[in-house]
Chains A and B, each alone.
Chain A
Amino acid sequence: MWHSFSEAFSFPFMRNALFASLLIGITSSIVGIYVVLRRIAFLGIGLAQVSSLGIALATYLGLNKDILSLTMVFLCLVFLIMATRGKERVPREALIGVIYSFALALSLLLLSKSAKGEAGVMESLFGNLLAIHQEDVRNLLIAFLPILVLYLLFSKEITATSFDAETARAMGLNTQLWNFLFYLTVGVVIAFATRLSGVFFSFSMLVIPPFIALLASRSLRMAFVLSLLVVIPSVVIGLYLSYAWDFPPSGMIVVFLFLFLSLTSMRRGH
């Protein structure tokens, strides 16, 4: 049964879901371009799981979820940076994997004792875009708008620092500052996105649109534009169809991203 677009989005919960996933999708895919280029995509899912653990812990202890999950994500980032300062005996990637598993294990234990039980585990993984309140959307806007402005204004500094930090530094760029801001934004994006949409959705948004865009791009500028061109329709159509066909929205949106991915790879295979 085909409901009309305007009908679907006339409900406040659908509008909140739309605005929130657009904000998450757009911000994640911009930040995610650098995450993918720096070969730290795995960090995305590791941090998302840590953030999810923070949320579970906050629920358990009755603390503020945003604050605790942000704190844990930052502690984890600081730990990762410190731990890889010394001689790299094992690739850092593996350490991120260990953190991911550990965070997942702890979340599982915590959630099993929570009131929601197994449903809580599902929600922490898959989120619930339809339960987002207007207030959440507002908080998301407050957190993500500065990030978008930062990447818009300073993309050349962030790019130079990612691509060739040594030369950038020799030229006089403050690469430590730009690196710090990069990781800070990754942390904020993942923490907020995970809180509202779950581990799976926040990781997908961070990695899939940039991956598709980078596959098809012949300049960095083009990669940013394509990333948005992929994520915005996926969110709108995915949400609409999830309403029309009664599917979970995050799953529907990500399936749409895969549709774009196959289209791009087909075009490339030409």
Chain B
Amino acid sequence: MEMKRLLLEFRDVYLGYRGEVVLPSVNLLIEEGDFIGIVGPNGAGKTTLLRAIAGVLKPMKGQVIIHKPNLSLGYVPQRSLLEETYPLTAMEVVSMGLYKRVGVLRSVRKFEKKAREVLRVVGLEEMEKKLYRELSGGQKQKVLLARALVSEPEILLLDEPITDLDIASQKSMLDFLTHLNKEKGITILLVSHLLDVVAERAEKIVMLGDGKVVSGKRDEMLSPGMLREFFGLPRRGA
């Protein structure tokens, strides 16, 4: 087996909000080309972990080490956390993915060709002038994916990207992510509480629950003992 390049490392990292720990002692390795599924029940801390990986949430303790300088990442937030009053067109939302690249004083207009191309890739070429807030749930999800992809990231972080999709769209979204991972070599971290869906695609799995974080290869993680511990019924105290 060839050695994969280490991109990101969590060493005994504590995550939480305002002094309250949500995830204690997280240890995690992310290697180039990984397809990692992050699973766990509601409130387990999946979004929290993804925020820390994205660098949005600073650790309370421990080290997050970025092994590749200038690692570019694309982030697809949990859609339900987004404000929907803005009169932004699909094109305007996708172009936001380029803001950092375009630079501070320049117009994004020149980059609209690129944004249009990505909208086509996710199957929304007809929708560029439509308002984001007037799209369907699945279409919004695709716009957010397009925004993350438009800057051609090396690592893609997705928070519940398939939860709102119908079965056919779920499959096409997952096929697309697999394609990005296999053909373009993009590292993918996929958060979902749909364990079976994640297990089908991800090679590594991070399981969260009850303040515990365990990660490993898919087959080790899908043992009956693990599943009972993180998803099984009855759960302790529940």
Contact = CB atoms under 8 A, between A and B. Distances in A.
Interface of A: 37, 39, 85-87, 153-154, 156-157, 159-160, 162-164, 166-173, 214, 217-220, 222-223
B129 to A, nearest CB: 8
A170 B55 contact: yes
A85 B86 CA distance: 25
B96 A37 contact: no
Given A217-B87, A222-B87, A160 B96 contact: yes
A214 B86 CA distance: 8
A217 B147 CA distance: 22
B131 A164 contact: no
Interface string B42-72: 0000000001001110000000000000000
B97 A171 contact: yes
Interface stretch (B98-106, B180-188, B198-206, B207-215): B98-106
Given A87-B18, A153-B104, 16 more contacts: A154-B104, A156-B108, A160-B96, A163-B86, A164-B83, A166-B51, A166-B54, A166-B56, A167-B77, A167-B96, A169-B56, A170-B73, A171-B97, A217-B87, A220-B88, A223-B87
The interface centre, meaning the residue of B83, B87, B89, B93 with most chain A CB atoms within 10 A of its CB, is B87
14 contacts: A156-B102, A157-B99, A157-B104, A160-B96, A160-B99, A163-B88, A166-B56, A168-B99, A170-B56, A171-B75, A214-B85, A214-B87, A220-B86, A220-B88
A169 B100 CA distance: 10
Contact of B100 (A159, A162, A172, A220): A172
A170 B153 CA distance: 12
A89 to B, nearest CB: 13
B189 interface: no
A173 B99 contact: yes
A164 B157 CA distance: 15
Interface of B: 18, 51, 54-56, 73, 75-77, 81-83, 85-89, 92-93, 96-97, 99-100, 102, 104-105, 108, 131, 147-148, 151, 157
A185 to B, nearest CB: 17
Contacts of B76: 167
A164 B87 contact: no
A57 to B, nearest CB: 34
B99 A156 contact: yes
B73 A219 contact: no
Contacts of B148: 167
Contacts of B147: 167
Contacts of B83: 37, 163-164
A153 B108 CA distance: 12
A229 B74 CA distance: 37
Contacts of B102: 156
